[in-house]
Chains A and B, each alone.
Chain A
Amino acid sequence: MSGRTRRGTMTPGFTLGMVIIWVLLWGDLSVANVLAGTALVVLMALLFPQPPPERGQHLRPLACLRFLGRFAVELVQASAQVTRAIFRFGREPSCAVVAVDLRSRSDLMLTLIALALSLVPGSVIIEVRRATGTLYVHSLDVSDQEGIERVRRQVRDLERRLVRAVGSTSDLRRVERS
């Protein structure tokens, strides 16, 4: 356990987030509760050191709201699409596994994109190549080459919106350039 690793875990943002979860779990905002939560977070960070967080992420509130709004709409659309596929009798769904190369280079973005993709229309992640930043997406209701290209466009569109919301400046440059 190196000193650097320990410091990495104990960023103010991480500590604050964990304490907020602790208080929410108890459902009771009191001084004693906050202090107990903080002590527990410090103890946990010492016992279970984590890799240092990535630097350079920016939270852009307006883009975040835009992302969340669009995400909520897509969540509903995804359920509607799957429901249609479930009750379409007589024909089995036609699917495809599509490789998509991401432009952002951070683990956090890769994780967030993979999480969000499984909840928006058409896609479930089945494999991730971290070294090349490639996602393999299983897509429902794809019947031709054009559909495959559409899946690629959708994934890259989601990436752009997510990077605009929370990505680092260098990722944002890469995403906006292409």
Chain B
Amino acid sequence: MTGALDAAAGVCLVLGSLLSLIAGVGLLRFPDTLTRMHAAAKPQVLGLLLVLVGLGLRLRDPADICMLVLIAAFQLLTVPVAAHMAGRAAYRTRRIRRDLLISDDLAGTQPPQNKPGL
């Protein structure tokens, strides 16, 4: 039983690390900030979740698992926000590759003024 859990933990850890590596390669390979955000958000989050699952399977201590669950929850909440803020800043300062976009519904609309509530 312990052996099976350890094996599963190992598989999760290796897969998770691999996905994080892929996300890193994506940051280098993708041509602009907006496309890089896809790499930073998706394989990165799944990779981290797998690493956390792997850790949980190996540690098996309720207190540690509580902490891992919290880390996972806050990652799921904060990573999309970080990607959104970076993408938005890149778009507003025009640091994006326009030639990659086949259409842009945001072009021509004014960015909202910095009023509370917007």
Contact = CB atoms under 8 A, between A and B. Distances in A.
Interface of A: 21, 23-25, 27-28, 75-76, 78-79, 81-83, 85-87, 92-99, 114-119, 121, 124-131, 136, 138, 140, 142-144, 148
A27 B34 contact: no
Given A27-B64, A93-B35, A83 B105 contact: no
B87 A95 contact: no
Given A114-B80, A125-B84, A144 B102 contact: yes
Among A27, A86, A98, find the residue whose CB has the most chain B CB atoms closer than 10 A: A86
Contact of B26 (A86, A117, A121, A127): A86
Contact of B66 (A24, A87, A92, A142): A24
B42 A79 contact: yes
B117 interface: yes
B63 A27 contact: yes
A76 B30 contact: no
A96 B101 contact: yes
A95 B106 CA distance: 13
